[in-house]
Structure 1
Amino acid sequence: MEIAALHRLFLETPIVCTDTRKIDGPCIFFALKGENFNGNAYAREALKKGAILAIIDEEYYATGNHTVLVSNALKTLQDLALYHRNYCGTKLVALTGSNGKTTTKELIHNVLKTRYNTIATKGNLNNHIGVPLTLLTINPETDIAIIEMGANHQKEIAFLCKLAEPDYGYITNFGKAHLEGFGGVQGVIKGKSEMYDHLIAHDKFIFFNADDPIQLQKLNAYGRKTGYSRDKSDYRIIRFLGADPFVKIGFDQTTITSQLIGAYNFGNCCAALLIGEYFEVPPEDMKRAIENYVPEANRSQLIKRDGLTIVLDAYNANPSSMKVALENFKDMEAEYKIVFLGDMFELGQDSAMEHQQIAEQAEKMGYQGVFLVGEHFFDTASRAHKFKTFEDLKDYLRKHPVTEGTILIKASRGMALERILDLI
């Protein structure tokens, strides 16, 4: 079946599913494969549960007129998504970066939806499957789509840009994330910059942080851009007014008080303001949109309970985000501070060094308690409390409960360190 014909069927039933457990009515099922599953084996079940069509790539699972055999179900999904994206003609803003992608995406969405019909990546569906699924939620009435793109190796952002064909782009930052896959910090810069490379090659528009020397240098000779800065008069001046604990921003004569903890969220807010202004969103609407945004899903959440103030930032971590989280926590006004830090993943040969540096940084900051959790932190030379497993930490906290103070919880997603909330 040609993509144009498949697209006509999609327009009649504009719902795509890749998981039979989530089918609750008419849809088009794509039989995707993974290391531990084969979606082809669920084609019959998908049809029984209401799918009008099952796209499969193994002839053995064909079940008649309602299955379509293709050479690669994933590529067909991706081709359909690009075809649909171009059919709708929606303006598309793409963003990537080492840290802050999802928060920035949500802030941009909050700002733009005050004036436009918008859609945005749900959660962190930002890979080669999530991006096409998001593109397929666009409809002809959608004015702007905000698409988050994640990557852990070279050429991934380039592929996602080719898949989505963005009209605009923004890179949050270049940090020490996924060092193993990218091959070091320079590999991260090269890999994330694939978005700028794509946009420049296709003469598209770029938003950027003019205070980031890497971005400034890369875009110096490119004309179709606009940037923000704290003090460079050639760019949009946005002032940092503090973060204790919430980020405050000076935007012309207006003060914006966000519900985001940490100075590192200043740039995320700036991006939303810069992009909102470009799309002519009124300043008062942007102010309201940013002030009303409340982080969730373990991202820089401020929780108060039983005499404790908890900064929960356990959605993800890498050396760059860990460093700024510790620095921001140090600047918070509180007499008694405790940090719980969990392992950082995908650091490759730099893992031991990076964990050691974070352990030393935490020790030097004078916190009343430093707790390191996970095999990588356990192997550091540190005087902090170290626990090889979460169960070891749990046993310790049962015997030595934390009853007061201000607490930072920061770790990679795989550590699920938010479980500490059940222990304190």
Structure 2
Amino acid sequence: MTIEQLYSLYKVHHAVSTDTRNITPNSIFFALKGERFNANEFAAQALENGAKWAVVDEGKYVTDERYILVENVLATLQDLARYHRHQLNIPFIGITGTNGKTTTKELLYAVLSQRFKTYATKGNLNNHIGVPLTLLSIDDSIEIAVIEMGANHQREIAFLCDIAAPTHGLITNVGKAHLEGFGSFDGVKKAKGELYDFLKMHDGVLFLQGDNEYLREMEMQRGISKIVRYGFSPANDIVGRLEYANPLLCVSWKIRDAEVYHTVGTQLTGSYNTENILAAVAVGHFFGIDDVHINQGIVTYTPTNNRSQITKTGQNVVIADYYNANVSSMEAALANLEVIEAEHKVIVLGDMFELGDDAAKEHRYVVDKALAIDADRTIFVGEAFYAHQNTKAEFYETTDNAKEALREHPVVNSTILLKASRGMAFEKLMDML
């Protein structure tokens, strides 16, 4: 079966499924393989649960005409998504970056939805499987799409751009993350810069944080012609300033050369989110949304998934930011806590993953950064941090150990920064706070 023939089936049923536990009725089931599973084995169950067709790549599972045998199911899913993308003549905004891409994606969605029927990546479906699934969820009624793209190796962003074909794009920032896969900070810049390469090649529009020296350098190396700049200096097309972050953000912005600033309160914490807000302003303004509706989109956005999320418990205010962590996001979170006005502050940090050979050095760096802040308690959790234990802070090898310590010595009436890589399972600590 050709992709064109498969696409004709998709257009009739317009839904794909990859999980037999959540089958969309009359969908096309794609039997993907992973390290620990082979969905070819569950194709029959998918059909029983309501799928109309099952795409498989092992002939022994084909028992009737409802099975579509292909050479590689994942490649077929990606090819179908690529084909579908090229039938959609709408703006596609690609987002990547070391930190803040999910928050920025959601802010863009909140702003653009004020005027356009917008579709944005759900959750963290930002990889070689998630992006195709996202594209195949977009129907003819959508007017603008926002596609988040993640990577931890070279050429991944280039591959995702080839599928999603962004007409517009932005990199939130570049920092020290996934060094195990990228090799170095220069490797991070090269990998994220693959989005710039695509925009340059296809005459796309770049939204650029004009005060970020690394992003400016990356753009200048490529010479992209269509650029909308946002940032804090007056040379940017959208000029912003942070009014306060105590702990929720209030931001003002204006169009370059205008006299009047537009001020907007938010439900976000973290001064580092100011530039993510300005990115949403820049995109909204570019697409013709007025200042009232831009601000309305921003003020109504509520963070979820423990990303820059304020949680008020019975005893404390918790800055829950433990969906992900790397060196640059740790720095930003600590800098934000330092400027927050609070009588009592507590820092709880967990290990950062995928730092490769730089892990020991970077964890030592974060320890020093955290100890420089005046906090009532500073707690480090995880094997990488534990290797740097000293008498100036509390160190625990596991999250369960830290939980027990917080049970024995509770924290009350404090503002607490809770930040770690997702694998540290810091949600376990919330019951103690």
Scaled by the length of structure 2, the TM-score of the pair is: 0.96
Tell me which residue corresponds to 1:222: 224
The one-character-per-residue Cα deviations of 1:350-396 (angstroms, maximum 9, x if unpaired) are 00111111111111112110111111111114331010011211221
Contact 2:101/2:148, CA 8 A, preserved across alignment: yes
Counterpart position of 2:415: 406
2:306 to 292, 298, 322: 298
Alignment of 1:140-289 (within 5 A): 140-220=140-220, 221-233=223-235, 235-252=237-254, 253-289=261-297
Q: Given that residues 268 and 303 in structure 2 are in contact (C-alpha distance below 8 angstroms), is that contact kept between their aligned partners in structure 1? A: yes
CA distance in 2, matches of 1:108, 1:278: 12
Query: Are 1:89 and 1:140, in contact at CA under 8 Å, matched by a contact in 2?
Result: no
Point out the more displaced range, 262-271 or 84-93.
84-93
How many angstroms apart in 2 are the aligned matches of 1:311 and 1:381?
24
Secondary structure at 1:251 match in 2: strand
1:325-364 equivalent positions in 2, closer than 5 A = 325-364=333-372
Q: Deviations over 1:190-230 (max 9, x none)?
A: 10001001110111111110001122223233211111121
Provide the C-alpha distance between the structure 1 equivalents of 2:113 and 2:171, rounded to a whole number of angstroms: 21
What secondary structure sits across from 1:317 in the alignment?
Answer: coil
Matched residues in 2 for 1:50 and 1:229: separation? Answer: 50
Indicate whether 1:387 and 2:396 are aligned.
yes
Residues 264-286 of structure 1, C-alpha deviations (whole Å, 9 max, x = no match):
00111011000000000111001
Q: Tell me the CA shift for residue 24 of structure 1.
A: 4.8
Counterpart residue number, 1:367: 375
Q: Which runs of 5+ in 2 are unaligned?
A: 255-260
How far, CA to CA, are the matches of 1:271 and 1:297 in structure 2?
Answer: 21
Deviation digits for residues 40-91 of structure 1 (CA, Å, limit 9, x no counterpart): 1111111111111000011111121000110110011011111111112222
Please tell me the residue identity of whatever aligns with 2:133.
Answer: L
Which stretch shifts more, 147-156 or 299-308? 299-308
The corresponding residue for 1:17 is: 17
Structure 1 residue identity aligned to 2:231: S
Mean Cα deviation higher: 318-327 or 228-237: 228-237
Contact residue 244 and residue 251 of structure 2 kept, 8 A: yes
Deviations 1:142-190 (A, max 9, x none): 1111000000010000000011111111000001111110001111011
> Distance between the aligned counterparts of 1:310 and 1:206, measured in 2?
36
Find the aligned partners of 1:82 and 1:98 in 2 and give their Cα distance: 25
* Structure 2 residue 431 is the aligned partner of structure 1 residue 422: yes
- Rounded to whole Å, the distance in 1 between the matches of 2:357 and 2:170 is 29
> Any conservation in 2 of the 1:360–1:382 contact (CA below 8 Å)?
no
Tell me how far 1:234 sits from its aligned partner.
Answer: 5.0
CA spacing shift, 1:382–1:215, aligned 2, 3 Å: same
Equivalent pair of 1:31/1:39 in contact (CA under 8 Å)? yes
Between 83-92 and 178-187, the greater mean CA deviation after superposition: 83-92
CA contact (8 A) 2:112 2:284 kept: yes
Identity %: 46
Question: 1:103 corresponds to which residue?
Answer: 103
| 1:241 CA drift (Å) | 2.1
Q: Which residue of 1 aligns with 2:318?
A: 310
Q: Number of residue pairs matched?
A: 424
| Counterpart secondary structure, 1:408 | strand
**Structure 1 range deviating more: 237-246 or 157-166:** 237-246
2:43 partner letter: A
Residue 140 of structure 1 deviates from its aligned partner by 1.1
- Measured in 2, the distance between the counterparts of 1:228 and 1:151 equals 24
